């Protein structure tokens, strides 16, 4: 009875029944029947002034990261679409304009007198499975002339997940759908019930993001959380299935792009680790091994399918190494594959110069 009349830490209404249970306003991504999840259209998020790095982002009416292009391409305009995960979407940069697709677009507009557009079709945590589907349903209807593919590392992670299979369900799970019991509204009138649900069950942790990224938890004691997950030790070659899936998906994306009258361009994805000998899931020794193998597959597919290849990995990683040797630190990567504003600027400049050198503009 007491918490109904007095504010007690741990038992306030905001703690035992958070607003996100009824409102989706704070969720930037929404479930999608074919794509697992996708960016929510017309979604703005302002920078958090309390954050060490103030980041803001916006999604346009079509669900792409801003600045978003119109569905109908202007006559005489070169349109480029950038496909990938969080490093393309722009998890590291501070604003929409600081992502590498946006900076690439700004450079091309300046050099072409305004007759160029770049669409940011990156989505955080998407693998080649989601990118292949998104290419068909989201990207190609935008009628791009060129499609740049910058992906490898999310597939490297799924290849390291236990017991890989061809359709990736060893790594992905269905976005959970909650259908509360008819008794739930009545039970929620009880502070005792709300406190038990908050502290005695995992109900809120499941509802916090509705399974965002929808990764299967690896087997382990108490359902070991992703935050504590470490890639298991593996001696000898890594399992082939995840790499074969990536080769297949990348080949399919190339073919699909060409079938719709656009030209594919493959980019190798850069990665940086401050502790390359660790067992960390994101940038440890096995992750780097898997990432490098995925990079070789990008080169293999580019050679076999005669697709233009831009060696962005070599360029960015060499620049980060040189900066580290000179100053003791690097300023291009914010974490593993995620770029800083400066890193995104360097990537955009290199891609623009390579597109020009290859005669693709």
- Please report, in tens digits, the pLDDT of each residue of the chain (361 residues total): 888 888 899 999 888 888 777 766 767 888 889 998 899 999 998 876 665 555 889 999 999 999 999 999 999 999 999 999 999 999 999 999 999 999 999 999 998 877 999 999 999 999 999 999 999 999 999 999 999 999 999 999 999 988 899 999 999 988 777 777 899 889 999 999 999 999 998 788 767 655 566 787 765 544 445 555 556 566 677 889 999 999 999 999 999 999 999 999 999 999 999 999 988 888 889 999 999 999 999 999 999 999 999 999 999 999 999 999 999 999 999 989 999 999 999 999 999 999 999 999 9
Of residues 32, 224, 283, 25, the one with CA closest to residue 133 = 32
In sequence order, the 6+-apart residues with CB closer than 8 A to the CB of 85 are: 122, 123, 124, 125, 126, 127, 131, 151, 153, 154, 337
- C-alpha span between 307 and 235 (Å, rounded): 34
* Burial (Cβ within 10 Å: 0-12, 13-18, ≥19) of residue 223: exposed
* Beta carbons within 10 angstroms of residue 329's beta carbon: 9
How does DSSP classify residue 228?
Answer: G
Tell me how far apart the alpha carbons of residues 275 and 283 are, in angstroms, rounded to a whole number.
7
């Amino acid at each position: 009875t007491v918490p109904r009349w007095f504010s007690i830490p741990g038992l306030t209404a905001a703690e035992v029944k958070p607003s996100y249970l009824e409102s989706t306003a704070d969720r930037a991504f929404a479930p999608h029947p074919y794509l697992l999840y996708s960016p929510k259209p017309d979604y703005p998020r302002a920078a958090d002034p309390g954050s060490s790095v103030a980041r803001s982002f916006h999604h346009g009416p079509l669900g792409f990261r801003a600045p978003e292009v119109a569905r109908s391409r202007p006559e005489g305009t070169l349109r480029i679409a950038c496909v990938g995960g969080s490093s393309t979407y722009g998890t590291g940069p501070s604003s929409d304009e600081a992502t590498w697709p946006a900076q690439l677009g700004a450079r091309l507009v300046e050099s072409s007198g305004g007759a160029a557009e770049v669409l940011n079709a990156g989505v955080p945590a998407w693998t080649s499975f989601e990118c292949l589907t998104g290419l068909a349903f989201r990207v190609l209807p935008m009628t791009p002339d060129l499609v740049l593919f910058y992906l490898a590392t999310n597939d490297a992670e799924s290849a390291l997940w236990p017991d890989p299979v061809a359709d990736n369900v060893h790594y992905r799970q269905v976005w959970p759908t909650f259908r509360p019991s008819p008794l739930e509204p009545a039970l929620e009138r009880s502070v005792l019930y709300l406190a038990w649900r908050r502290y005695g069950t995992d109900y809120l942790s499941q509802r916090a993001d509705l399974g965002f990224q929808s990764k299967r938890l690896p087997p382990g004691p108490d359902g070991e959380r992703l935050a504590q997950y470490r890639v298991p030790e593996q001696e000898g070659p890594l399992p082939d299935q995840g790499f074969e899936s990536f080769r297949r998906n990348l080949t399919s994306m190339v073919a699909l792009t060409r079938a719709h009258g656009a030209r594919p361009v493959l980019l190798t994805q850069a990665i940086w680790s401050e502790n390359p000998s660790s067992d960390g899931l994101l940038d440890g020794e096995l992750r780097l091994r898997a990432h490098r193998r995925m990079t070789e597959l990008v080169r293999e597919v580019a050679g076999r399918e005669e697709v233009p290849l831009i060696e962005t990995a070599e360029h960015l990683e060499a620049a980060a190494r040189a900066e580290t040797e000179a100053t003791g630190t690097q300023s291009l990567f914010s974490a593993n594959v995620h770029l800083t504003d400066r890193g995104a600027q360097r990537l955009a400049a290199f891609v623009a110069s390579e597109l020009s050198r290859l005669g693709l503009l």
